[in-house]
Amino acid sequence: MDLKLKGKTAFISGSTSGIGFATAQVLLKEGMKVYINGRTQNSVEIALKKLEKAVPKAQVFGVAADFSEEKELKKIQTAIPNVDVLINNVGIYTSSSFFDTTSATWQEQFQVNVMSGVALSKFYIKGMLERNWGRVFFLSSECAYIVPTDLISYSATKASLHAISRGLAQLTKGTGVTSNVVVPGSTLSEGAQRFLKEKATEEKTTPQEVEVNFFKTERTQSLLQRFATVEEVATTIAYYSSPLAVATNGAIIKVDGGSSGGAL
Ligand SMILES: NC(=O)c1ccc[n+]([C@@H]2O[C@H](COP(=O)([O-])OP(=O)(O)OC[C@H]3O[C@@H](n4cnc5c(N)ncnc54)[C@H](OP(=O)(O)O)[C@@H]3O)[C@@H](O)[C@H]2O)c1
């Protein structure tokens, strides 16, 4: 299927690896110009080289900016005046008991996971509305629904993205701009692969066995019963980036293998 994205420009926050990187790769294959991002120039350059190798003639660029610092957002806005597709993908989490989670941890997660997307949306949506075309995504998580007790602060950041995305969608009424939330479930990013390997070493078993047990005990509602691949999430984002997907606005797009449950 031709997603009709050729020539359009995307920015993806937190995209030197994981879902963001895979999304960059899919959008580049569709002929888009893509700006990636990570915290350091070094990590951005490594990712750029990988993407240039994977997608010959890719129009790919990078901007290093650490979203835990509000002032770093300026670097993105200065380097990229307009985008057609804004993917607010960056997300960090700390696994800790509610009682041990400090205010600084809550604030850092809100700054990175929520406020980066708020600031970038404020900056880019006006141009999208003027041009009568644009796509905005916020990467949520199954945790917004499940709320694991060691991830209450992270889950709260993700739940708040749903309200922001829906509110922004309402501002797009009658235009060709859309704003949607994407809800991944457990996804096999590099971090998840490390988690499986470390747990396997700790429990003297294999990463495959750890994965099976994780779904049996921690994600019992999952219908997929395995980690999704980053490509499975990336191709979903690519479809909803397309002009073909204009009728999906203010929506919650689940790619969680059914883990957040419920018939509605
Ligand atoms: N993987 C999952 O199982 C899963 C499940 C549900 C939802 N999600 C959500 O999906 C999104 C992507 O997840 P992922 O697992 O692919 O992410 P990830 O692998 O943990 O993300 C790594 C990327 O984030 C960048 N990054 C981290 N902190 C940053 C900061 N302060 N400023 C700028 N960039 C930063 C890293 O850049 P550098 O290292 O180059 O600095 C790297 O590009 C997140 O919002 C996450 O919450 C993931």
Q: Which pTM value belongs to this model?
A: 0.98
Residue 60 forms part of a structural domain: yes
Ligand 1 centre from 174 Cα, in Å?
Answer: 33
Q: What is the DSSP letter of 223?
A: S
Single-letter code of the amino acid located at 144: A
Q: Please give the full DSSP string across 164-221, using - where no structure is assigned.
A: HHHHHHHHTTTSSEEEEEEEE-SB--HHHHHHHHHHHHHTTS-HHHHHHHHHHHT-TT
Looking at the structure, do residues 99 and 195 belong to the same domain, yes or no? no
Provide the residue range defining the domain that includes 111: 9-187+228-255
CA 130 to ligand 1 center in whole angstroms = 31
Collapsing DSSP states into helix, strand and coil, what is residue 108? helix
Q: Please give the distance, rounded to the nearest whole angstrom, from the Cα atom of residue 178 to the centre of ligand 1.
A: 23
What is the per-residue pLDDT for 46?
A: 98
> Is residue 137 domain-shared with residue 160, that is, in the same domain?
yes
Residues 6 or more apart from 221 whose CB is under 8 A from it? 146, 258, 259, 260, 261
Query: If you measure from the C-alpha of residue 175 to the centroid of ligand 1, how many angstroms do you get, rounded to a whole number?
Result: 31
Quick one: 130 and 89 in the same domain? yes
State which of 11, 13, 19 you would mutate to test the pocket of ligand 1, scoring each by most atoms of that ligand within 8 A of its C-beta.
19
Q: Return the ligand 1 atom nearest residue 19 CA.
A: 16
- Nearest ligand 1 atom to alpha carbon 36: 43
* Number of structural domains in the chain: 2
Q: Are residues 192 and 215 part of one domain?
A: yes
Our mutation pick for probing the ligand 1 site, out of 13, 39, 109, 230, counting the most ligand atoms within 8 A of Cβ, is 39
Check whether residue 114 and residue 90 sit in a common domain: yes
**111 and 172 together in one domain:** yes
201 plus 244 within the same structural domain: no
- What's residue 261's pLDDT? 85
Task: Show Cβ contacts of residue 17 under 8 Å, excluding neighbours closer than 6 positions.
Answer: 38, 47, 189, 190
| Residue 154 designated active-site | yes
User: What pLDDT does 262 receive?
Assistant: 84
Claim to verify: residue 176 and residue 219 sit in the same structural domain: no
Query: Which entry of 145, 154, 239, 240 is annotated as an active-site residue?
Result: 154
Tokens of 253: 């797009």
pLDDT tens string, the chain, 264 residues long: the values are 999 999 999 999 999 999 999 999 999 999 999 999 999 999 999 999 999 999 999 999 999 999 999 999 999 999 999 999 999 999 999 999 999 999 999 999 999 999 999 999 999 999 999 999 999 999 999 999 999 999 999 999 999 999 999 999 999 999 999 999 999 999 999 999 999 999 999 999 999 999 999 999 999 999 999 999 999 999 999 999 999 999 999 999 999 999 998 888
Per-residue pLDDT at 264: 85
Give the CA angle between residues 141, 89, 215 to the nearest 5°.
Answer: 30
Based on the domain organization, do 117 and 244 belong to the same domain?
Answer: yes
Q: Are 116 and 88 in contact (CB under 8 A)?
A: yes
CATH number at 97 reads 3.40.50.720
Please, which residues have CB within 8 angstroms of residue 59's CB and are 6 or more apart in sequence? 28, 32, 33, 34
Considering the domain architecture, whether residues 201 and 214 belong to the same structural domain is answered as yes
Identify the three-state secondary structure at position 141: coil
β-strand partners of 36: 62
User: Ligand 1: which residues within 6 Å by Cβ?
Assistant: 14-20, 37-40, 43, 66-68, 89-92, 112, 139, 141-142, 184, 186-187, 189-192
Residue 42 lies in a domain: yes
